[in-house]
Amino acid sequence: MKLRVFVSVIAFFAINNITRSFAYKYNTKYFDQTIDHFNFASYGSQTFKQKYLYNDSYWDKENGPIYFYTGNEGPIEGFLQNSGLVYDLAVKSKALIVFAEHRFYGSSLPFGAHSFSPANISLLTLEQAMADYATLITHLKENLGVHNTPVIAFGGSYGGMLSAYMRFKYPNVIYGALAASAPIYLIAGKGDRTEFFADVTKDFEKADPLCPKAVMTAFTMLDNLVKTGDNGIKKVSELFKLCKTLDKGQVTHLQGWVRNSFTSLAMMDYPYPTDFLAPLPGSPVNYACKVILSANDPLQGLAEAAGLFYNGTGGSLKCFDIITEFIECADPTGCGTGNDGLAWDYQACTELILPEGSNGKTDMFPSLPFTLKMRDEYCQKTWKVTPRNNWLDISVWGEDISTSSNIIFSNGELDPWRGGGVLSNVSDSLIAVLVEGGAHHYDMRGSDTRDIPSVIAIRKQEATIINKWVAEAKLSNKQRKIST
């Protein structure tokens, strides 16, 4: 799931234990977290430092709830700075804000530099991460003396999945959840694995009906140039401004590099400039299509548009290193780079079922398949593990979620992950909302004067529902006290 936050973005955030003086303010703390929650003999009482960020400046300890963000597959600072909805709601409801970092990501490494050895990384599971969150929440409530304070979970993308799963698995800890852009059906193996890149293509088609055709033409031109031999490969390398001349065996990697860029542009297709995955202009899909269609030829346009994601608007890169900028892995939508990319690759090789790849028929990309068999072979070769494709259907309920309650499943109309999520109400308290014209967890972003009307309306609806949950929890606690 393409939500790896680039190091260039995270580098802006210091890791010292101080309050930030810009953007959304927070403090940093570390919790001594249990290494293995489910095997009493394996590590005994050993712990690791789990990072969490908090802001208590709005909190009314007597009446305010706790808003708990279930961290994603990357350093937690980047998710906090791009989840301003939590702050906007906390100001009005006087909530305590907590953003918890996911084990094996950012600086929350159970075994430090040795965390990614085969033996140690086996402790990277959904179950362990959720137990971390439940343990941390319980500790905070006890330490702060707020045992009856309701906790609402928030998350976007993988974090959104975790916020829903926390309500499934720990309803005693989490009273309600906002699961934004959470493709829980697809990841459990219940969705159409070919739909993702088809939906990326539809986003570009909505921007301009001629755009996908131009992209396909450009990929054909690339193939034809490569077939002409060294001169053709040299020309391709020059067009794409590669730091090194392309090797003939790297052509499919270049295609994946381009596909990765367009996938990210579709996910980050916000109406104003953002710098979540990369510094991008507003409506980057429209921007990319204009670049492609106004170029001298489609291939030149493809090269310029693909570079937008890796260099960003006003970027300083003079050339592209496609080998380091895009890493092929068990997630065809991209794993990112560095340790966070390794961790996500492992998760994609164990519990998480991700899209199949592109096919060049239902989408505008070259045929770059990634079947379940190919995944098995890759994961055995890379991690010596074989994925358990039915495990999430068992452990986090698959599509059989009707016995849960108090979850908002939000999706953006332009989000290519939308098809794998909950798109209609399951019950009166399992509610699906759609942000028309919205991209990947757009509703989780903070309020902005450039917001489109649909996201403003959805955020108001979400706030009303969450406030109702908090009021219900308070009333329930009050009645419980009276009865005792």
- Residue 369 backbone phi and psi in degrees, to 5: -75, 160
Cβ pair 257, 322 in contact under 8 A: yes
Q: For residue 1, name the pLDDT band (cuts at 50, 70, 90).
A: low
Catalytic, 223? Answer no
> Could you give all domains of the chain from N- to C-terminal order, each with its CATH number?
7-189+399-483 (3.40.50.1820), 195-383 (1.20.120.980)
* For residues 354-367, average pLDDT: 97
Whole-angstrom distance, CA of residue 141 vs CA of residue 78: 25
* For residues 58-87, average pLDDT: 97
* For residues 445-471, average pLDDT: 98
Q: Which of 37, 102, 440, 441 is catalytic?
A: 440
Q: For residue 191, name the pLDDT band (cuts at 50, 70, 90).
A: confident
Tokens of 453: 């009307």
Question: Could you give the maximum distance between any two Cα atoms of the chain, in Å?
Answer: 84
Q: Which of 108, 115, 157, 237 is catalytic?
A: 157
How many Cβ atoms are within 10 Å of 33's Cβ, its own excluded?
24
Catalytic, 440? Answer yes
The pLDDT value given to residue 3: 52
Distances (CA, A) of 379 to 262, 311, 333, 388, 457: 25, 31, 16, 11, 43
| pLDDT digits 0-9 by tens, 198-233 | 999 999 999 999 999 999 999 999 999 999 999 999
SS3 readout for 37-71: CCCCCCCCCCEEEEEEEEECCCCCCCCCCEEEEEC
How many Cβ atoms are within 10 Å of 402's Cβ, its own excluded?
10
Ramachandran category for residue 279: left, alpha or beta (phi over 0 → left; psi -120 to 50 → alpha): beta
Q: For residue 484, name the pLDDT band (cuts at 50, 70, 90).
A: low
**Predicted confidence (pLDDT) at residue 4 exceeds the cutoff of 50:** no
* For residues 308-333, average pLDDT: 93
Mean pLDDT, rounded, of the chain: 93
| pLDDT digits 0-9 by tens, 265-285 | 999 999 999 999 899 999 999
The pLDDT value given to residue 13: 30
Whole-angstrom distance, CA of residue 130 vs CA of residue 12: 28
| pLDDT digits 0-9 by tens, 282-319 | 999 999 999 999 999 999 999 999 999 999 877 789 99
The pLDDT value given to residue 480: 73
The pLDDT value given to residue 18: 34
Residue 458, CB half-sphere, CA atoms under 13 Å: how many?
A: 29
Catalytic, 37? Answer no
Q: Which of 203, 331, 415, 443 is catalytic?
A: 415
Whole-angstrom distance, CA of residue 164 vs CA of residue 152: 10
The pLDDT value given to residue 19: 37
Ramachandran category for residue 24: left, alpha or beta (phi over 0 → left; psi -120 to 50 → alpha): beta
Query: 263-302 in b/e burial notation, b at 16+ Cβ within 10 A?
Result: bbbbbbbbbeebbbbbbbbebbbbbbbbbbbebeebbbbb
Share of the chain above pLDDT 90, in %: 89
Q: For residue 21, name the pLDDT band (cuts at 50, 70, 90).
A: very low
